[in-house]
Structure 1
Amino acid sequence: MAQLLDEKTREQVAEILKDMTNKVKFILFKNDSEYSEVTENLITELTEVNEKIQIESHSKDEDFEKYGLDKNLFPSMVLLDSEDKDLGIKFYGIPSGHEFSTLLQNIIMVSNSKVNFSEETQNKIKTIDKKIRIRAFVTPTCPYCPNAVLAAHQSAILNSNISGEMVEANEFPELSSKHGVSSVPHTVIEIFENDEWKTKNEFIGAYPEQNFLDEILKSVE
């Protein structure tokens, strides 16, 4: 496969990532699909741009449960911190197009142990004591989707009860259809109850921080 990032893009990415302080690691679960190959190559090229980025790839018959991944979705990926701690940041599908910027912002947040939410929002998210899953359905061409994904991922960083997940809607049509995804970003909030995930709330659009928080808190009442 041809190089995904040209030299100019690599230089721009290197500049964006130059202030990384700690290493991060991507754990990729893949199958034989082109989507998996592209995702693996994309992250591998990032490791060539910055040595603080690492990747570890697994084939689909290996254990998903350790990272709480959906074993039916490939490619799937989690982002670990410098101590190999799983922060609940998940990607289903290729983080390309506008989601490539999301990917870079996630790397910086995890590397530098810093989120962009206000202190008040952080404190409220930290109080959530139910196991929840925030899935942001996106497409690469959607300019508003990165904010939805970043909100989900920041929530996961702040609270170990939360899983924040990017889902590339076009790559997973069955899952998208299940949730009636037609416009993106489409965020689905699920609670783990009685050994299964139950949808508690859904909303469309990239909500401002306070509105996003309100939707999360409403889901766990």
Structure 2
Amino acid sequence: MLDNNIKTQLKAYFEKIVNPIVLTATLNDGDSSNQMLELLNEVAEQSDKITVNTNGNSTNVPSFTVGKAGEVARIAFSGLPMGHEMTSFILAILQASGYPPKVEQDIIESIQGLTGKFRFQTFISLSCHNCPDVVQALNLMAALNPNIEHEMIDGALFQELVDQRQIMAVPTVILNDEVFGQGRMSAEEIIAKLDTNASTRDAEKISAKAPFDSLIIGGGPAGASAAIYSARKGIRTGIVTQRFGGQVADTVGIENFISVKETEGPKLVLALEQHVKSYDVDVMNLQTAKSLSKSGDEIEITLENGATLKSKTVILSTGARWREMNVPGEQEYRGKGVAYCPHCDGPLYKGKRVAVIGGGNSGVEAAIDLAGIVSHVTLIEFDTKLRADAVLQKKLFSLSNVTVITNALSKEVLGADGKVTTLRYEDRTSNQMHDIALEGIFVQIGLLPNTDWLKGVIDLSPRGEIIVDQKGETSMPGVFAAGDCTTVPYKQIIIAMGEGAKASLSAFDYLIRS
């Protein structure tokens, strides 16, 4: 199951094991159980500090736990942790053994200070690139706090549990038998939800900070680039970000980032974060800007938690978010049949009927990928023809389980018993309404800039983009902007990074001249 290269890597990793680890499996005679036992035995062969036994008593079969010898295990994997989750498995072994995690000390102390009993379950798909972040965060918490348990559950393998829990999107986190959250979450975000006083403490700390020379709002490629360029100038630099990496963290394959033949979004985000933190940059994560104003020579940013920050210059790099259909039923069934990431959620719809909204490259690529998983895909396009590249259209039309409907306007999402059952659309030629019976709808119709909080303060285009000149300057002196939230054409990672650097250099030039 594991090739020699991986085994060699595991031997090196497992030299860091502090205390002996026991992998306890619950198995039956099925193929999945045989594969799990094979995997566990091969992993255990790479270290004399790992043993395997098969006397587990979990209700989920096949599954196994990871625990320190002599202690009750608090980390469990229901399903084979392959693909993206292999790293989660390796880290679980190291951290359960007592190996120090590579996270900030204040996060460790926050985890250890949590009181109460927390039993987490995370439903994942092995193709989901956001799921490992959540699994690893909760495994870390379980390793550090004896009051916390965590179980990863492969939704594709445990379909009955998925149906019972009505899981329609991954990652979905269950806490003590109640839905806790969906989507990518870091340990910081999970702690903030559990510790209700964390927001107030953060606001007090942030408000006490001295004014910055350059304050960047947004932690995507443009914001990271701006922060690095500012810090290299030796000026006091801060960055406020709701989620470091932005949309890039949700990107599966990246093949057009020059000098890197191919990579994945989470890997690029990690590299960006490490690069930013190698400089003297004050990173304020999990924070959302609420308003911007100017008084004299200083610009003030107010955050959602009530904190205020001041700076001589500000660089806006708030990026963009998935565009929604804005039809009745979309919000009601979001995460219950309405999805935005086919790579993450596609495996949950195996053998079912789905629709893809959007005929651009993203929509057609989604339809092609889903066609290999689901029973049937209906692609709905508003225009009279698809807008995707010719090579993608050729592939799409070669698939026997795909129907393409053009000149159609999505009107309503209908459902029953908490799940999507129907997509209603209007034929724009005849104005007649049609219903499609299905179980899932994947929305792929582009992005919207995250600039609603700037309306009436900074000049925006009719599409809501921040209007900038060739230097990245906005309509307010001292305020600059970069990336997907601006009027700069071609929303690409490499362009956003260049624009971030440009905005930073322009802000520095503004500082020395004023």
Q: Same fold (TM over 0.5)?
A: yes
2:22 is paired with a residue whose SS is strand
Q: Structure 1 residues 99, 129: closer, same or farther in 2, change over 3 A?
A: same
User: Amino acid of the residue matched to residue 100 of structure 1?
Assistant: M
1:78 aligns with 2:65: yes
1:127 aligns with 2:105: no
Q: What is the Cα deviation at residue 24 of structure 1?
A: 0.9
2:139–2:150 contact (8 Å) kept in structure 1: yes
Structure 1 residue runs of 5 or longer lacking an equivalent are 191-197
1:102–1:150 contact (8 Å) kept in structure 2: yes
1:87–1:156 contact (8 Å) kept in structure 2: no
Counterpart-to-counterpart distance in 2, 1:107 and 1:44: 14
Q: 1:150-199 CA distances to partner (integer Å, 9 max, x unpaired)?
A: 11111212222211111111111121223332222221111xxxxxxx41
Aligned equivalent of 1:148: 134
Higher helix share: 1
Match of 1:100 among 86, 93, 103: 86
Q: How does 1:7-156 map to 2 (within 5 A)?
A: 7-58=4-55, 64=57, 69=58, 71=59, 73-81=60-68, 83-156=69-142
Bigger-Rg structure (1/2): 2
Aligned equivalent of 1:162: 148
Match of 1:214 among 180, 188, 192: 192
Counterpart-to-counterpart distance in 2, 1:21 and 1:124: 23
TM-score by length of 2: 0.36
- Of the two structures, which has the highest relative contact order with CA contacts closer than 8 Å and spacing of 6 or more? 1
Structure 2 residue runs of 5 or longer lacking an equivalent are 197-514
1:186–1:205 contact (8 Å) kept in structure 2: yes
Counterpart-to-counterpart distance in 1, 2:101 and 2:72: 16
Paired residues, what number?
Answer: 196
Q: What is the Cα deviation at residue 57 of structure 1?
A: 0.9
RMSD (Å), alpha carbons: 2.0
TM-score by length of 1: 0.80
Counterpart-to-counterpart distance in 1, 2:47 and 2:18: 11
Q: Structure 1 residues 150, 113: closer, same or farther in 2, change over 3 A?
A: same
Counterpart-to-counterpart distance in 2, 1:209 and 1:129: 16
Counterpart-to-counterpart distance in 2, 1:174 and 1:217: 33
2:146 is paired with a residue whose SS is coil
Aligned equivalent of 2:467: none
Percent pairwise identity: 23
Aligned equivalent of 2:168: 182
2:139 is paired with a residue whose SS is helix
Q: Structure 1 residues 54, 176: closer, same or farther in 2, change over 3 A?
A: same
2:116–2:147 contact (8 Å) kept in structure 1: yes
2:17–2:99 contact (8 Å) kept in structure 1: no
User: Amino acid of the residue matched to residue 187 of structure 2?
Assistant: E
Q: Structure 1 residues 80, 138: closer, same or farther in 2, change over 3 A?
A: same
